[in-house]
Structure 1
Amino acid sequence: MNFTSCPRVSFDFSGRFLPPVYILVFIVGLVANGWGLKSLLHNWKKLGNINVFVLNLGLADVLYLLTVPFLMVYYFMGSKWIFGDVFCKITRFCFNLNLYGSIGFLTCISVYRYLAIVHPMRVLGRISVLHSVGISVLVWLMVSIQIVPDMFFSKTSGNNTERCHDTTGKIYVEDYLKYSLGWTLTGFCIPFLIALGCYGHVIVVLCRTNTTDKVLKQRCLKLLFILILLYSVCYIPYHVLKNLNLWSRVLSKQRQCRKWFDAVYIAHRIIRGLVCLNSALNPLVYLHGEENIPAQLRQLLLRARETFSRLLNSSSVPVAQTAVEV
């Protein structure tokens, strides 16, 4: 059956769903990263050699969060980009740098935890902060090399004032799909398999031996839970749906229409919002060594309640005085 064009996918969903998500990510992300960085500096010696990776993880989050207000404006205006082509590319670059930098540093943390538990005597005293700094520089370099080709694809359409694409426009979508598949392999699949292998071996060792330090075991299990949360909510669905969405666009361009196009687009928009949550969830890595997080949370909530009560009381006093005078 011949088609002149496929039925147009509705873009209204993005304007309703993404702005509230970005607002939540921006507020929670800034608060959580601020608290996390403070905790990191307070427990610098306690965290050991992974503190350098955790610090870089926080820097990647903050860098991306600074671009989120511009995305809020973009989606509030009905997906109309008013900040120009160059800044569109910068915004998308920061997102990818945060995403793949986070994956890279989480993989480094996983490898360090693996070495500390499975091969403690071999690495004892041999891994220094300088090693961690060198590895961090290498991670930033590798992530940047993977992202650079993305910057050469067209990101805007409609005289540079309409759309700021996550990927690229319709003209180059076939080439972008090939690039995206290779990027997914090197930037996501390989680090994911490394982290999976490390924690698979760690779990076996923890189950077989009772000599491992209990505090180290607890930290390892907490970190494993955080990684499972990040990969299951953010990273795995994002990469699957990103490439499916690109494939649907390629088929649509070739006038091969499928009923699942609209569902894939909406699912991709949803996960495009959820993947941003990694900036709000990453601070859990800062705090996984803290034993008193519940107590700190209760203290913060108590302070917030007291502040709110004072504001209510101060605003109700003039009202009461006015009522008496009348």
Structure 2
Amino acid sequence: MIQQCHTGLCLSVYILTFVLGFPANILAFYTFGKKVRQKATPIDILLLNLTISDLLFLVFLPFKMQEVTNDMIWKLPYALCPLSGFIFYLTIYTSTFFLTAISVERYLGVAFPIQHSLKRRPIYALAASIFFWIFSFIHLSIVFIIPLIGSPPAPTPTDTSDIVCYQNFTEEQLKILLPVRLELCIVLFCIPFLISSYCYINFIRILSSLQHINRRKRLRAIGMALGTLVVFALCFGPYNVSHIVGFIQWKSPEWRDRALLCSTFNACLDPFIFYFSSSAMRGSVSSVLEGIRKRLPSCLSCRVPRVLKISSSNSSSDKDKEHTLILNAVLYA
């Protein structure tokens, strides 16, 4: 059965995600790329990889727009069908891994500030990033394998008028696909989500007990942690729940494509999380807005949001190395 995604709804979500997410992620890529070149830290490497994952997702998003516009009929060269699906699903799960790694990094920074600062090395974050990409690549290769199971050869480029991309599955294909989807849900979503929940809950608990940290910065960090966890659950939860339901019903749920829309939104929500949690990202946004203000005479009187700077004037933090390390872990600027 073809899963119909309401054209107006799906196209609106895809266009909104692309219009908001692409320029925001380009700015994030520039910001974190610059920081990594200047002085790489583990959190910067993880954020850069998360941004690359989002950009890769957004680059291939127009293929999904085309598919929805044509009533889920694939009219582009067939080779792009499995490739676009592979990239689409790959970047969803690499995002869960990088969000989880970022949560671990933040938690260790506030729970064990001195020990963690002595042991943290950019090479560890780089190795973890390579592992996440390879691990996800291997798991999502199922997108290339499933169409080859019990199926005729791929259609020629001139015979794509009625091709449905990665939608209709035979019983033979479902016997492999549905258990693999369940495994993806458990290994690539449930376990990372549980780890992230543990890290952020304890992150919030520790920050709530540290009264020596500036209240505004502490509340902003707590809000960032809660926001990230909510985005994680709402963006990736519905799609992965569809894997569980599909395994129980032994068929692809008809609402699976609509659940996938929630995951699509993550690509434009991540930069907003970066903005509220990174002074470097706020600095880049402020610079862009300042440049726009200077180039538009009519906006000379406009007020550009001021970048929140990390202050080192807190005397108690200067005297206490542990407090300083915790503050840096909270704001990772």
Relative to the length of structure 2, the TM-score reads 0.74
Residue type of the alignment partner of 2:46: F
Identify which of 23, 41, 56 aligns with 1:31.
23
Is contact 2:96-2:232 (8 Å) kept? no
Q: Larger C-alpha radius of gyration, 1 or 2?
A: 1
Specify every segment of 5 or more residues in structure 1 that has no aligned partner in the other structure, as ranges.
Answer: 1-7, 253-263, 310-326
Residue 24 and residue 242 in structure 1: after superposition, are their counterparts in 2 closer, same or farther (change >3 A)? farther
Residue 87 and residue 41 in structure 1: after superposition, are their counterparts in 2 closer, same or farther (change >3 A)? closer
Which residue number corresponds to residue 15 of structure 1?
A: 7
SS class of match (2:169): coil
SS class of match (2:119): coil
Which residue number corresponds to residue 89 of structure 1?
A: 82
Is contact 2:178-2:250 (8 Å) kept? no
Quick check: 63-72 or 50-59, which moved more? 63-72
Which residue number corresponds to residue 265 of structure 1?
A: 254
Quick check: 209-218 or 128-137, which moved more? 209-218
Quick check: 41-50 or 177-186, which moved more? 41-50
Residue 298 and residue 135 in structure 1: after superposition, are their counterparts in 2 closer, same or farther (change >3 A)? closer
Residue 207 and residue 306 in structure 1: after superposition, are their counterparts in 2 closer, same or farther (change >3 A)? same
Specify every segment of 5 or more residues in structure 2 that has no aligned partner in the other structure, as ranges.
Answer: 300-333
Which residue number corresponds to residue 166 of structure 2?
A: 165
The Cα offsets for residues 160-208 of structure 1, whole Å up to 9 and x where unpaired, read as 5321126x61332233111111111110111111111111222222223
Is contact 1:233-1:274 (8 Å) kept? yes
Residue 308 and residue 177 in structure 1: after superposition, are their counterparts in 2 closer, same or farther (change >3 A)? farther
Deviation at 1:276, TM superposition (A): 0.7
Deviation at 1:226, TM superposition (A): 3.2
Is contact 1:49-1:127 (8 Å) kept? yes
Which residue number corresponds to residue 235 of structure 2?
A: 234
Deviation at 1:213, TM superposition (A): 6.7
Residue type of the alignment partner of 2:20: V
Distance 1:95 1:141 in 2: 16
Distance 1:96 1:286 in 2: 23
Residue 84 and residue 41 in structure 1: after superposition, are their counterparts in 2 closer, same or farther (change >3 A)? closer
Deviation at 1:300, TM superposition (A): 7.3
Is contact 2:204-2:225 (8 Å) kept? no
Which residue number corresponds to residue 289 of structure 1?
A: 278
SS class of match (2:118): coil
Which residue number corresponds to residue 138 of structure 1?
A: 131
Distance 1:165 1:308 in 2: 50
Relative to the length of structure 1, the TM-score reads 0.75
Which residue number corresponds to residue 255 of structure 1?
A: none
Residue type of the alignment partner of 1:82: K
SS class of match (2:211): coil
- Report the identity percentage: 23
Distance 1:54 1:10 in 2: 34
Which residue number corresponds to residue 179 of structure 1?
A: 180
Which residue number corresponds to residue 51 of structure 1?
A: 44
The count of aligned residue pairs is 287
